[in-house]
Amino acid sequence: MKTLKILVGVAFIIAISAFALNKVSGTKIKGGYSIGDIATDFKLKNVDDSSVSLSDYDDAKGFIVIFTCNHCPYSVAYEDRIIALDLLYKEKGYPVIAINPNNPKAYPDDSFDNMKIRAKEKGFTFPYLTDDTQVIYPMYGATKTPHVYVLEKTTTGNIVRYIGAIDNNYKDASAATKKYVEDAVNALLKGKKVPVEVTKAIGCSIKA
């Protein structure tokens, strides 16, 4: 590797807002949900071989839908927090529904058999579903794992109320100063507006 020294001349600092999107992007998912959209239901296979749909949950007030997977270190870093979210909110009406959106041919770690193993090892308290036909994640607009959608169940459907990260520190739960998903669900439980509706995070690209 070359020397640490980065050779730089600084005549002007260009505002970062000048960044332009180049339109050649081919892998970017078009569409996906925005806040306030009605999220589709689905029927996906769970690690216990049953099929799970949002409509199965008669008593739910909403859902914490999390696109996650086995192979991604960011997903793994959040596993305990995902379990904690489910334990905290399932009884309050907001169960976690985890969906693995990856193509197992691209990531063998994310195969259905390995999902079963991981769910058992970690003692997942929530359904861990495979979107192996890869139909659902593009509809939601998930681009990476983990990627969370908090849905509020209403008479007109499941409305998207929050999209993004679980909190603001993937490395260390105790160092997170903003718990976006908790704040969102707590607000919804009180009938209030979600304080932060969209956040961004680094994650592992979903592989088609």
Which C-beta is closer to another protein: that of 54 or that of 136?
A: 136
Shortest separation between residue 208's beta carbon and another protein, angstroms? 10
Shortest separation between residue 117's beta carbon and another protein, angstroms? 19
Which C-beta is closer to another protein: that of 39 or that of 204?
A: 204
* C-alpha span between 32 and 165 (Å, rounded): 16
* C-alpha span between 116 and 31 (Å, rounded): 31
Which C-beta is closer to another protein: that of 72 or that of 97?
A: 72
Shortest separation between residue 202's beta carbon and another protein, angstroms? 5
Q: Which residues bind another protein (CB under 8 A)?
A: 1-2, 4-22, 24-28, 71-73, 77, 106-107, 143-144, 164-165, 168-172, 175, 178, 180, 199-207
Shortest separation between residue 11's beta carbon and another protein, angstroms? 5
Strands 157-164 and 44-46: unpaired
Shortest separation between residue 170's beta carbon and another protein, angstroms? 6
Write the CB contacts of 194 (distance below 8 Å, at least 6 apart in sequence).
150, 161, 162, 183, 184, 187, 188
Which C-beta is closer to another protein: that of 67 or that of 126?
A: 67
* C-alpha span between 97 and 29 (Å, rounded): 22
Which C-beta is closer to another protein: that of 5 or that of 190?
A: 5
Strand, coil or helix: 157: strand
Which sign does the torsion angle of CA 87, 39, 141, 35 carry? negative
